[in-house]
């Protein structure tokens, strides 16, 4: 396969990563979902042959099996690949210090990941989820110590409220510690609530956004729409229990529009859903995973086209969310008038804040 993937800077860093990140959560068979080593290797090779260099895994994925596979797959050209892994989730159930964000778990998790990955360093080390117990100061100082020790090069944060990320990076800036350069969040046509706080924060702090769940647990592929009645009526259905998204009628409406758009432009629904999120912002690098190489090949087709403004509007409209307070309040015409002295439509804002951009267009 001819290389065709372009590259992006990872947030406020000089690190170059491919425009799609390969998620390795499917690498392994310890959980119900996943692929064996042979198929995982085919998925990896398909991604690498397309020019991809950015691999995302975690210590918890398939109880360490994913990291071992990734380490083996990249070993022949370790320096070429940007390797990302995570810590936080438990690796020994029932032991309070084998999970969480604190320094002890960070150090022991990192050492164990380095052994499984068979490498001396991690390019991007993620805090996997906020634990609400560990002080921000402890997290940022401990991560900086790992950077200074040469065991990790950059740090990122996943599944954490915007106010905590903002506080952490301001603290790092004041102390001269390593700041977060990337943010990992759930983001898709089915999950747009991150547009309230997390996405604007990432834009302001120049964080790369690496969304997971971009296909809405497979729902945006359209494969469940033929079973809509069954899944909505049987709340105890196994699939509905595994993915609550399948129990929401609104999500089926969104998936149906994706299917219609795909037919209109001659693309697959998964390609449309991925393309929509790619076009949200230049700092977005979606994480794509697959159980089979053929699935990944199809997903890579999202790089071959662009959605027109009209198509984007169709998808935006069907998936629109209530922005809530203070966002909806600050977009009110009367409030805009008194805040900007009636001049909000006459001010050119090079920072492109969404409120003023919409106001200038008269939306």
Catalytic positions, please? 61
Helices (H) and strands (E) in the chain, counts: 15, 10
CA distances from 206 to 15, 240, 258, 284, 313 (A): 13, 37, 30, 11, 26
For 60-84, letters b (16+ CB in 10 Å) and e give bbbebbbbbbbbbbbeeeeeebbbb
Cα–Cα distance between 294 and 257 in angstroms, integer?
A: 24
Q: Angle 288-293-295 (CA atoms, 0-180°, nearest 5)? A: 60
Question: Secondary structure of the chain: what % helix, strand, coil (to 5)?
Answer: 50, 15, 40
Q: Give the orientation angle of helix 198-205 with respect to helix 162-175, to 10 degrees.
A: 20
DSSP calls for 71-117:
HHHHGGGGGGSEEEEEE-S-SSTT-TTSSSSSHHHHHHHHHHHHHHH
Q: If you ran DSSP here, which 8-state letter would residue 151 be given? A: S
Query: Could you tell me if 277 and 214 are in contact, meaning their C-beta atoms sit under 8 angstroms apart?
Result: yes
Alpha carbons within 13 angstroms on the beta-carbon side of residue 347 total 17
How far is 57 from 229, CA to CA, in rounded Å? 36
CA dihedral 318, 320, 322, 323 (to 10 degrees): 180
The angle at the Cα of 11, spanning 330 to 88, to the nearest 5 degrees, equals: 95
């Amino acid at each position: 396969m001819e290389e065709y993937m372009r590259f992006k800077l990872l947030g406020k860093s000089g690190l170059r990563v491919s425009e799609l990140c390969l998620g390795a959560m499917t690498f392994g068979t310890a959980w119900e979902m996943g692929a064996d080593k042979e198929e995982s290797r085919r998925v990896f090779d398909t991604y690498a042959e397309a020019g991809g260099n950015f691999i995302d895994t975690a210590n918890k994925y398939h109880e360490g099996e994913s990291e071992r596979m990734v380490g083996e797959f990249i070993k022949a050209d370790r320096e070429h690949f940007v390797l990302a892994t995570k810590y936080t989730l438990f690796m020994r159930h029932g032991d309070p210090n084998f999970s969480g964000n604190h320094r002890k778990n960070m150090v022991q998790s990192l050492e164990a990941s380095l052994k499984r990955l068979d490498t001396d360093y991690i390019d991007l080390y993620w805090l996997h989820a906020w634990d609400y117990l560990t002080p921000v100061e402890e997290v940022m100082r401990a991560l900086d110590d790992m950077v200074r020790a040469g065991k990790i090069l950059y740090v990122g944060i996943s599944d954490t409220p915007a106010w905590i990320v903002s506080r952490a990076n301001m603290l790092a800036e004041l102390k001269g510690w390593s700041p977060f350069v990337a943010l990992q969040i759930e983001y898709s046509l089915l999950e747009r609530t991150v547009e309230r706080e997390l996405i604007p924060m990432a834009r302001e702090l120049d964080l790369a956004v690496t969304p997971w769940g971009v296909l809405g647990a497979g729902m945006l592929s359209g494969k469940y729409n033929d079973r809509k009645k069954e899944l909505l009526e049987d709340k105890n259905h196994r699939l509905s229990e595994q993915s609550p998204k399948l129990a929401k009628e609104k999500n089926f409406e969104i998936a149906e529009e994706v299917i219609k758009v795909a037919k209109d432009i001659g693309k697959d629904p998964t390609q449309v859903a991925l393309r929509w999120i790619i076009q949200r912002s230049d700092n977005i690098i979606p994480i794509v995973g697959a159980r089979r190489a053929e699935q990944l090949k199809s997903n890579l087709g999202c790089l071959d086209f662009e959605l027109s403004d009209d198509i984007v509007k169709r998808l935006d409209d069907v998936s629109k969310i209530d922005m809530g307070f203070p966002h909806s309040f600050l977009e009110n015409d009367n409030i805009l008038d008194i805040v900007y002295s009636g001049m909000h439509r006459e001010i050119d804002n090079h920072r492109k804040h969404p409120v003023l951009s919409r106001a200038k267009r008269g939306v």
